[in-house]
Amino acid sequence: MMKAADLAAIRAIITRAKRWDLFFSLLGILSLMVGVLTFTVLFVDMAIQGVPRLSVDFFTSFPSRRAEHAGILSAWVGTVLVMLLTALAAVPLGVAAGVYLEEYAPKNWITDIIEINISNLAGIPSIVYGLLALGLFVYYFGFGQSILSAGLTLALLILPVIIVATRESIRAIPQSIHEGSYACGATTWQTVSDHILPYSSAGILTGVIIGMARAIGETAPIITIGALTFIAFLPTAPFAGDPPAGLFDWIFAPFTVMPIQMFNWTSRPEAAFTVNAAAAGFVLVFMTLAMNGLAIYVRYRLRKNIKW
Amino acid sequence: MKLQTGVEAGVEGAVLKADVRELDFYYGAFHALKRVSMPIHDHMVTSLIGPSGCGKSTLLRCFNRMHDLYPGNRYAGGGIVLYPDNTNLLSPDVDPIEVRMRISMVFQKPNPFPKSIFENVAYSLRVRGMRNRSELADRVEAALKGAALWNEVSNRLDELGANLSGGQQQRLCIARALASDPEIILFDEPTSALDPIATASIEELIIELKEKVTILIVTHNMQQAARISDFTAYMYLGEMVEFGVTDQIFIKPQKKATEDYITGRFG
């Protein structure tokens, strides 16, 4: 039989021990708030400044010397097209590289060196990618200061992110599923295409979106390869114009993107341009959030049918 | 050491299906199987028993070349000969995929794919190139009936395999292993993650299955080995200690070590 005094002592110990729980949860909330609040303040400030400036005209006008007539048409079209090429280049390359490293690569020192370097690539400053791309894509391959050059540059930039995300989500598949597939007599490719890719697609998609969200805001490498800051025309749509443009002529067009347009406006002395920059910033953040929202939704749909 | 096969011992209906011959196996530097020999009899249940780490699962996973999936594993001598065609399963000339097409496996923990019940069973047929829908449907139904699961799932073949209970999931995995009409099915402690009722139904199923297929089962449950198997092999520290007809192993073991393990004095 427990004595009353002992019980009181145990309770005192528990109360004392639980103080650390309280302390840590407060610390955690505080750390969380530093990040969340900072972003919220910045975003709300930008929204207050920029949102009143948003109108249909803002999205359908080219940049102009007069702030009230200036819009982001060439910038958002440029951003969308560059992102499209980035995804088209980075997703197949990144996923293929990740699958190769996890499922096919022999376990030896060459593979180890490649693995270490992929993590290192993720840490290289983006301007360095810009310089590489200037030499390689713009001059050596002769793609010029085009949407194609920009898309490929950003693809290189986010490739490590996609490779790492692919490998992580493949590793999250239980070994027993892996062995189960091989035990049925599947080849490595059958295992990859019937099991590994379908079950890891949600995780891979998350990595792709994280990478894209990083790429959409990149300015330095895009400036390095020579994106123009003032573009008052759109790339020619496929089959438009006279003589008609080819299906892929637009990828060689000069372009600008949202962050460059913002950067250009913030460096103007007139206050009205600062408002434009805030409005463009709001649109850019909204584009990023929309992408993340889409990713969360698709991930939810994909994961619903995956249980082990 | 030469083991007496069931054929030599005059067991009724005993025909050899496979023969493990002085097999050595290494995990890196660790000598996991030491000159292991044992016969496998056609349409019989053979149990592998022994304490944890004795090499019984290692031996089982040699039969479908599961060890080939991981670097550092090495078959270092001897082999497993499959009859009647006298193929050495461990020969470097034999493709492990060919081996796995002939010998299927049921794992310790039920591992249905996150696909529908139908697709789980159909998968072992799909990797064999079967595309015809009605043929697939017939074979899946036959396999599910063979695994005593058809009555429980016939009206929900489109549901996820993971929605079934643990015992049903394991029977689904048995159906998957059975669908391709294998020569041998390997069971790696198939009931260790299941409750007693599900265990009983799996045991009953294994006894029924030997009509169709040869069975090799690893179990850490000696009563289970005694209940379901025709032959039993006792392994210890990577060596084959004793092999024989189950009744004989459990009632009158030839070796002191086997007797100690079976009577619970050791292990």
pLDDT in tens, A230-266: 777 788 777 777 777 777 788 888 888 999 988 888 8
Tokens found for residue B65: 């070349």
Give the N- to C-terminal CA distance of chain A in Å, as an integer. 46
The pLDDT value recorded for residue B3 is: 64
- Interface contact B111-A179, CB threshold 8 A: yes
The pLDDT value recorded for residue A305 is: 76
Mean pLDDT split into 10-residue runs, chain B, 267 residues? 64 84 93 94 94 93 94 91 91 94 94 95 94 94 94 93 92 95 95 91 93 94 92 94 92 90 77
- Interface contact B128-A185, CB threshold 8 A: yes
Domain boundaries, chain B: 16-109+183-262
- Tell me how far apart the alpha carbons of residues A39 and A289 are, in angstroms, rounded to a whole number: 13
State the sign of the Cα–Cα–Cα–Cα dihedral A202, A203, A206, A211.
negative
- Tell me how far apart the alpha carbons of residues B86 and B99 are, in angstroms, rounded to a whole number: 13
Of A284, A293, A290, A286, the residue nearest A76 (C-alpha): A284
The topology (CATH level 3) of B16-109+183-262 is: Rossmann fold (3.40.50)
Are residue A199 and residue A214 in the same domain, yes or no? yes
- Tell me how far apart the alpha carbons of residues B164 and B166 are, in angstroms, rounded to a whole number: 7
- Tell me how far apart the alpha carbons of residues B17 and B7 are, in angstroms, rounded to a whole number: 11
The pLDDT value recorded for residue A252 is: 87
Among the residue ranges A60-74, A138-152, B147-161, B246-260, the one predicted with the least confidence is A60-74
The pLDDT value recorded for residue B178 is: 94
The pLDDT value recorded for residue A129 is: 92
Structural domain boundaries, residue A30: 4-51
Cβ contacts from A onto B, under 8 A? 67
Are residue A34 and residue A120 in the same domain, yes or no? no
Q: Which chain A residue has the Cα nearest residue B177?
A: A184
Contact present, B146 and B212 (Cβ < 8 Å): yes
Query: Above 90 in pLDDT, residue A304?
Result: no
Domain membership of residue A219 (yes or no) is yes
Residues of chain B contacting A305 with CB distance shorter than 8 Å: 114, 160
Residues facing B38 on adjacent strands:
B20
Query: Above 90 in pLDDT, residue A68?
Result: no
Token pair 């060439």: residue = A74
Specify the DSSP class assigned to residue A62: -
Of A301, A81, A76, the residue nearest A206 (C-alpha): A301
Residues of chain B contacting A174 with CB distance shorter than 8 Å: 111
The pLDDT value recorded for residue A36 is: 94
Residues of chain B contacting A306 with CB distance shorter than 8 Å: 114
The pLDDT value recorded for residue A306 is: 79
Report how many domains make up chain A.
Answer: 2
Rounded-to-10 torsion of CA A213, A219, A225, A231: 100
A187 has a chain B CB within 8 A of its CB: yes
Mean pLDDT, rounded, of chain A: 89
User: Coil, helix or strand for B84?
Assistant: coil
Please state the rounded mean pLDDT for residues A112-135. 90
- Interface contact B113-A106, CB threshold 8 A: no
pLDDT exceeding 70 applies to what percent of chain A? 99
Domain membership of residue A308 (yes or no) is no
Are residue A23 and residue A75 in the same domain, yes or no? no
Among the residue ranges A68-72, A138-142, A180-184, B206-210, the one predicted with the least confidence is A68-72
Of B120, B116, B121, B122, the residue nearest B159 (C-alpha): B116
Are residue A66 and residue A45 in the same domain, yes or no? no
Are residue A23 and residue A46 in the same domain, yes or no? yes
Are residue A182 and residue A101 in the same domain, yes or no? yes
Domain membership of residue A123 (yes or no) is yes
Domain membership of residue A144 (yes or no) is yes
CA-to-CA dists, residue A266 to A54, A269, B10, B146, angstroms: 17, 8, 95, 73
Give the N- to C-terminal CA distance of chain B in Å, as an integer. 24
A184 has a chain B CB within 8 A of its CB: yes
What ipTM, to 2 d.p.? Answer: 0.92
Contact present, B111 and B101 (Cβ < 8 Å): no
Please state the rounded mean pLDDT for residues A44-69. 86
**Domain containing A213 — which CATH number?**
1.10.3720.10
B101 has a chain A CB within 8 A of its CB: yes
- Interface contact A308-B176, CB threshold 8 A: no
Tokens found for residue A168: 């992580």
- Tell me how far apart the alpha carbons of residues A134 and A95 are, in angstroms, rounded to a whole number: 25
In 10 A of CB A228, how many CB atoms? 15
Are residue A38 and residue A60 in the same domain, yes or no? no
Residues 6+ apart with CB under 8 A from B129: none
- Whether the pTM exceeds 0.90: the reply is no
Nearest to A180 among B111, B162, B163 (CB): B111
Tokens found for residue A145: 């200061």
Are residue A13 and residue A140 in the same domain, yes or no? no
In 10 A of CB B21, how many CB atoms? 17
Query: Above 90 in pLDDT, residue A217?
Result: no
- Tell me how far apart the alpha carbons of residues A268 and A285 are, in angstroms, rounded to a whole number: 21
Are residue A58 and residue A137 in the same domain, yes or no? yes
Are residue A72 and residue A16 in the same domain, yes or no? no
Of B122, B103, B115, B236, the residue nearest B181 (C-alpha): B103
Are residue A235 and residue A99 in the same domain, yes or no? yes
Domain membership of residue A237 (yes or no) is yes
**Cβ burial B197-223 (10 Å sphere, 16+ → b, else e):** ebbebbbebbeebbeebbbbbbbbebe
The pLDDT value recorded for residue A2 is: 63
Are residue A12 and residue A93 in the same domain, yes or no? no
Contact present, A79 and A257 (Cβ < 8 Å): yes
